[in-house]
Amino acid sequence: MTVQLTGSDLTLAEVVAVARGGSRVSLAPAAIERMEASRRVVEELVAGGRTVYGVTTGFGDLASETIDPAQTNELQRNLVRSHAAGVGEPLPAEVVRAMMLLRANALAVGLSGVRPALPQLLCGMLNAEVHPLVPSRGSVGASGDLAPLAHLALVLIGEGEAWLDDAGPGPGGEALARAGLEPVALGAKEGLALLNGTQLMGALAALALADARRLAVSADVIGAMSLEAMLGTGAAFDEGLIGARPHPGQVAVAAHLRALLADSAIGASHHDSPHRIQDPYSLRCMPQVHGAVRDALDQLERVLAVEMNAATDNPLVFPSGEVVSGGNFHGEPLALVVDYAKTAVIELASISERRAARLVDAHLSGLPAFLTDAPGLRSGLMIAQYTAAALVNELQVLAHPASVDTIPTSANQEDHVSMGATSALHLREVVDRAETVLAIEALCAAQGLDYRSPLTPGAGVGRAHARLRALVPHLAEDRPPAPDIAAVRELLRAGELVIDG
């Protein structure tokens, strides 16, 4: 599969395919033509001695400093070097790959005034698996993700660091040479065009969104397993009732749950029993809670669809000859929806932990205490729920929205920043922790379903139970739960609990 960059139609699925699947990348001919037209404008401006921000001036609060046209190339090189101030652990290769792809596509819009050689080198690096070492911290998400993108850009000019196969990080120039690629010598505007943009935020958000969508569907399946294990009722998922409040996510989740629970012998066994008029909210309100999560993720995808195909640097250079300075690099559109998605995924984990807590509580579940045959002598899955509670507490701390804060930079020229990079880094962590919480619930639900045998659950629930049991056996005697939790988590990551019905 080759992803052709046009600057206008890059999809989330293509980002995942390049970042994680190693799909090849190329530039569309029409994108090359647009870039060449925009580049001619920049070259004419420099030749004519015009004063243009970032082309013949300094940057940020230094915009009033005019640069001699003969120094424009040095200006761009100095910009990249000076902005590479990132710190912290390096970003994973998949995030760096997504950043490179998104930066190349932003340049392919054709309004950045750069030569096609820049995005072509980014494509070549992706295809040859040349991955710059990019520290994870340092962006305030306002003039774009300046520091992380500068570390990426250093490798394009043969500097900085990149991963050298399994040997760890090494000189960026050496990594290019090994791949048969030549570094670029930056011309006017080109260093600025590589640094201005929201590609760290976008990369983190896109990959986290793909994982969160998979997790949201799996959460329905796991929740249905818990409901069957605790002899819950699907009455609250009635199509008419749900249709009286038709939020899209709520409607979709209720339909999914009905499909998963169809033809359940467990459900039929207590259909006419007055044992429970209403289930607790963690079971009864799955359509409302899981559905709201889906709606929040939909909003993030809508914003990403625009952001991934936008020109986010400054100034923009139009083929008409007009050069306009503005703020398309400001990360607020992403920061707000990433924080919203982060809160939503936390709620997915929060309600999951409540179901796990009920499953291990004999007073509430109707199952053996802590899901073991010999409570007292054995502790069963008691402490697995502790782990889920600890993770939810950590998630609640991560819930603070980074986007409500701002710390001015560049001598107050950049006096309001989005902090969207922090939001996106936290979203990635949130999805990671939530995945483990749901794995713990799945482990408890499968154990609970074992105790309902020989009655069988709905077909979809049965498939999920069988897939989990093929990997993790029934807990007959106490054993460390940690390996079982890790195994179920890998099952979730592989999409094995994404079951339609």
Residues in the chain: 501
**386 counts as catalytic:** no
CA distance 151 to 356: 43
Q: Select which of 53, 340, 386, 451 is catalytic.
A: 53
Q: Are 118 and 184 in contact (CB under 8 A)?
A: yes
**Triad 124, 125, 129: Cα angle to 5°:** 120
Cβ pair 484, 490 in contact under 8 A: no
Q: How many CB atoms lie within 10 A of CB 131?
A: 25
Nearest to 30 by CA among 100, 101, 109: 109
CA 252 to chain centre: 22
CA 68 to CA 63: how far, in whole Å?
A: 13
The separation between CA 203 and the C-alpha centre of its own chain, rounded to angstroms, equals 7
Say what the alpha-carbon torsion angle 144, 146, 149, 155 is, to the nearest 10 degrees. 150
Helix (H, G, I), strand (E, B) or coil at 494: coil
* C-alpha distances in Å from residue 273, one per residue of 49, 156, 232, 265, 269: 86, 69, 11, 14, 8
Distance CA 334, CA 300 (A): 8
Bridge partners, residue 25, by sequence: 3
Instruction: Please give the distance of CA 94 from its chain centroid, rounded to a whole number.
Output: 11
Please say whether the beta carbons of 352 and 388 come within 8 A: yes
Provide the 10 A C-beta neighbour count for residue 58: 16
Number of other residues whose CB lies within 10 A of the CB of residue 105 = 29
CB 136 within 8 A of CB 89: yes
How many Å from the N-terminal Cα to the C-terminal Cα in the chain? 30
The helix (H) or strand (E) run that includes residue 24 is: strand 24-27
Contacts of 395 (CB under 8 A, 6+ apart): 346, 349, 350, 430, 433, 434, 437
Cα separation, 303 vs 299, whole angstroms: 6
Task: Indicate the SS3 state at residue 280.
Answer: coil
CA distance 102 to 32: 16
Angle at 463 between CA 459 and CA 469, to 5 degrees: 140
Cite the active site residues. Answer: 53
